[in-house]
Structure 1
Amino acid sequence: MATPLKIAYAGFLLTGMSLAGVFGTVAWRRRPSREATALVVLAAGIVLWLVGTTASLFVDPLSARVFAQKFSYFGIVSTTPAFLVLTLLYTGREAWVDRRLLGVLSVEPVVFLIGLWTTPELVYESVSVTGSSLAFDVVHGPLFWVHVVYAYVLTLIATALLLEFLYRTQYLYTKQVLALLTAVAAPWFGNMLYLGGAVPFDPTPITFAVSGTVLTWAVLEAGFVDLSPIAREAVVDHVNHGMLVVDEEGRLIDLNPTGKAMLDADDDIGRPLAELLTDYPQLVEEFADAHEKRENVLLDTPEGRRVFDIEVTPLTDYRDRLQGRLFLIQDVTERWQREQELQRQNEQLDRFASVVSHDLRNPLNVLDGYVELARESGDTEPLDAAAESIDRMYQLIDDVLSLAREGRQIESREPVELRAVARDAWANLETTEATLIVVDDRTLHADRSRLVQALENLFCNAVEHGGPGVTVEVGTSDDERGFYVQDDGPGIPPDEHDDVFEYGYTTTDEGTGLGLAIADAIAEAHGWELRLEDGSTGARFEFRDANVKRDDSVVLAE
C-alpha cells in the first residue's frame, strides 16, 4: 500500500538514482578514462542499490520484497570497491590498480552474493516487516557482518588516502577531495545509525540523494574530471618550465617546483600574484590583467640579467567560463644570446659584403685605370699610383679580416693592467711626436690581445685626425664604471656621433673606415659598450658595462 511515508521515502530514492545517473553519464562522456570508469561503476552500484530498495517498498508478498532487497545487494557490494579504486586512481596510485588488486577486491563481494542467493540464512537469519513498513525487522547472519567490516575497512582506507593526498598537494584540490569525502560519508553515517539501532529504518538509501548532489556538483562545477591531479603530478611537477596558476581574482592557487624556485616562493598559496612580484614591477604592469599574452622579458635576477619567455593562457571550464590563468615561464637566456649572436653575425656578413663589393671596387678601378694608362703610354710613373691602390686593398683586406676575428665572442678572460695594455698598444704606432698619458691604473678582466687591438685602433684614429703631435689620455671614467681614451685633437662634429662606428665611416682618403668599427666589435665581444662622449676637447671614447662592480678595481664583464 502506497502510504504518504512510502511515497516521500521513494522520492528521496528516485532523487538519488537520478543524480547518480547524471554524474555517471556526464563523467563518462566528458572523460573516458580509468577514473571515469570507476566513477561510472560507483554510479551504477548506487542505481542498483536504490532500484532494489525502491521496489521492495511497493511489492507483495513478503517473499517478493525480500527478493527485491536481495537484488539491491548487486549494487551494495560494488560501491565500496569502486570508491576505493576511484580514490587510488585520483590520488596518483594508478600503478596499484591492476588485475590482481581488482581480483582481490572482488573476492568478498562474489562470496557474499553466492552466500546470499544460495544460503540466505547466512545473511538473514530471520525477516519480518516492521510497523513503519519502510524496513524489515531483520536478524542478520554472520556473512552480513563480515561484509559490513569489509566495506567499512575499504571506506576508511579510501578516506585516509584522500586526507593524505589533500595534505600532500597543499590543499590545491580541496573542493574535489571534500566532495568525495562527503559523498562517501553521508551513506555510511546513515548506515551506522541504522546498525546501531538509533533509527527504526535504514536511512542509507536516502543519504544517496546527498551523495548524488555532491558528486554531480563535483563533475559539473569543481572540475572533477576536467583537471586530473595525476596528470599534474606526472607532467607539471617535472617540466623545466615554471608553471603558475592563479584564480580569477589573481590569487596563486598552484605552482610547480620550477616556479617556486623562480619566485622564491614556498608557503605562498592563496597570496595575490602581484605581492609575489614586488621585485619585478614590470611584470605586474605587463601581465597583471593579461588573459592571453606571450612576450620575452629581460629581468635583473640574483643570478644576473636573464631573459624569460612568459606566456599567459586563460583557463576555462567546459562552459567557457574563466576560472583562472596559467603562466608558463621559461628561462631562454642562452637561446636569446645565441639568436643575438646569429643576428650580429648576419649583420656582419652583410657589412662584409658591402665592403667587398664597394670599398674594394674603388681601389680596383683606380688600379685598372693606372695600369691601362701605363700600357698605353709606356710610362712607368702611373704604376706607382697603382701600387698605392694595391697597398690600400691590402690594408682593407687586413681590416676586414681583423673585424671578423675581433668580433667573435670572448671565450676566456684574464686580469690585465690598463696601464700595461695601453703602453703595448701605443708601442705598435708609428709615431714619435704624439704623447700617451695614462692617468691611473686599474685591473680589467679581458682578452688581452683583443683589448690591445681596440686601443691601438683608437690611438690610430687620434693620430690620424689630431695630427702627429696629438696627446692621448687613458684613464678610469669619472663614475669609475668604465675607462676612456681621449685626445686633444679637433674632435668629431656632434651630428656625426651616431655614424662613427658604422662600417666605412672615414673623413680621409687614406682610411678604410673600419678602425672604430673594429674597436666597437671588440667591446661588444666582451659584453661592453663603446660610446663616443662629449669631451671638453678632442674626441672621448668610453668603454662601459652596466654590470661593473666596484671594490679596489674596475671589473668589466667579469
Structure 2
Amino acid sequence: MIRRAVAGETENRREGGASRRQLTWYLFFRVLFIILFLTGTIIYQLHSGLDRPHPALPYLYLLAGLSCLHALMSAIMLRAVRGLRVFTQAQIAWDLLFATGLIYVTGGIDSLFSLLYLIIIISGGIFMTRREVFFAASASSILYGSLLDLQYYGYLPQLGGLAFPQQVSESDVFYAVFVNVLGFFFTALLTGMLVDRLRRSEQALERRTVDFGELEELNRTILASIGSGLMIVNPRGRVRSFNAAASRITGYTLQEVYDRKVRELFPGMGVYDGGLLPVSRAEVRVKDKHGGLRTLGYAASMVKDPQEQNLGLLVTFQDLTHLKAMEGQLKRADRLAAVGQLASGMAHEIRNPLASISGSVQLLMEDRNVSEENRRLMEIVVREADRLGNLLTDFLVYARPNPPELVEEDVSALLDDLVEMVNADARFTFVDFSREYAPGGRMPVDRRLFRQALLNLLINAAEAMGGRGKVLLGLDPDAGAVYVEDTGPGIPAEIREKIFDPFFTTKDRGTGLGLATVYAVIEAMGGSVELSEGSAGGARFTLQIPRGES
C-alpha cells in the first residue's frame, strides 16, 4: 500500500505534475512578492520627496489588486479542482500576462521588470515538464517581442498619465528582444536540465525510502515473531531493546527493562563486567518477573556500525527450563531402568535367604530353654528381617511397578477412605485435613497404585510437619489433577531436583523410596508429578493424570 502511494506520487512528479501542497506554497509566495513589491514602491514614493505620485502607481496598484484577487480565487478553487496540470498552466499563463502588464505600465523597453519572465520560467520548470517550460519561454518571447514591436511602430496604446519613449531605434529593439529571448530559452534549458536531475534524485531517494521502510517493517516483524529472546545492551551495560519473545520468557516488558542495568535484571548473565563481554554459548539460572526460576541458554555478539564502531551487544537467549526438566526426567528414567534390572536379578536372591533366616530364628524362639536375653536378641533379628522384607517390597514397587490397569475411579471417595484410614494412625493424631473437592470426581487411574502414591504423600507430609499441622487435599477432575499440600517448612530449592531419586532422604530413619515410588507409579500411569510451593509455605505435590478419550 505504501509502495503504491509513493509510486503514484513518483509517477506524478516524473510527468511534471505539481502537488496541491506545492501549488499552495506557489500562490503564497506570489502574494508575498506582490506585497513586497507594493511596499517597496510606497517606500520609494515617500523617500523620493515627490510632490505628487508617479502616474504609473494607480496602474501598479490595479495590477497588484487583480493578482491578489486571482491568487485568492485560485486558492479557493485548488481544494476542489481535479486537473492540477491545467490549473498549473493557467497560473503560469496569468503570471506571464501580469509580467507583460507590469512591463507595459513601467515603460516598455525601458522597464526593468523583464526579469520577471525569467522567474516565471524557473517557476514553471518546478511544476511542469521540460516541453511545457519551453512553451513558457516561447510565450514569454512572443509577449515581450510583441510589446516592443508595438512600441517601436507606435501602435502601443497610451494610458492616461503615462509617457512612453517616442524615439525607439531599431537596433535597441532588436538588441533588447535578442538578449531577452536568448535569456528566456537559455533559462528554460538550464531549468529543465536541473529540474530533471532533481526529479531523478527525488525518485531514487523515494525508492530508497520505500526500501528502508519495508526493511524496517520486515525487521520489526521478524523481531516480533522470532521464538528466541533478543536483547541489546549498550556500551554502558544498559538494556536498549527487548523483543516480544524476551518479554514472553522473562515476563518483563520493554518499558520495564529499558535503560536498566543488565546485571541488575539478570545477575548471573556474564555479558557485562565494566565492559561488554561476547559469549559464544552459556547457561544461567535467572528469576523471571514473578519470581520463578528459569534456565536460559544464551549467546552474545558485538553489534557494530559501518565504521566498525561498537554500538552494543546483541544477546540472544532461549528458555531451557522445560528442556532441563525433560533431561532430568530422562536421567531419572535411566536410573530407574538400571535399578529395575538390578532388582530383578537380586530380589529372589535376597528374599530367599532372608525368609530362611527369619524362619529359623522363629523356630529357635520356640525352644523353652532359650534365655530371655537371647529371646530379645532373636526378636530384634526377626523385626529387622521383616523391615528388610518391607524395604525390599517398596524397592520392587519403585523399580518394577506392575503394569497399571486404568479404570474410571471415584477419586473423591478414594481420598475420603485414605483420610479415614490415616486418622487411625498415631502419626496423624495431631494432623488436620482440609478437602477441596466435590463428591463424585472421577479419573482414569489404577486404584491400587494411585492409593499407594497418595498414602506415601500423606506420610511424607506428616513427617515433614513433625506430626503437627494441616494437610490440604484437592481434586480437579477436568484437569486430571490431584494435589497434596502441607504446612511444613517446605523443600529447599537446592534439593528439589533430588527428592525423587531413590535412597535420597533427609530423615534419620527414612529409606528414600517414598517419593521415588510416587514418581515411579504415576509415571507408569502416563502422568507426572510436579512440586511447587504451597500457599502456607509448605510443599505442594500435584499428580497430573492425562484424561483418556471419552
Task: Give the TM-score taking structure 1 as reference length.
Answer: 0.39
The structure whose Rg is larger is: 2
Task: Give the TM-score taking structure 2 as reference length.
Answer: 0.40
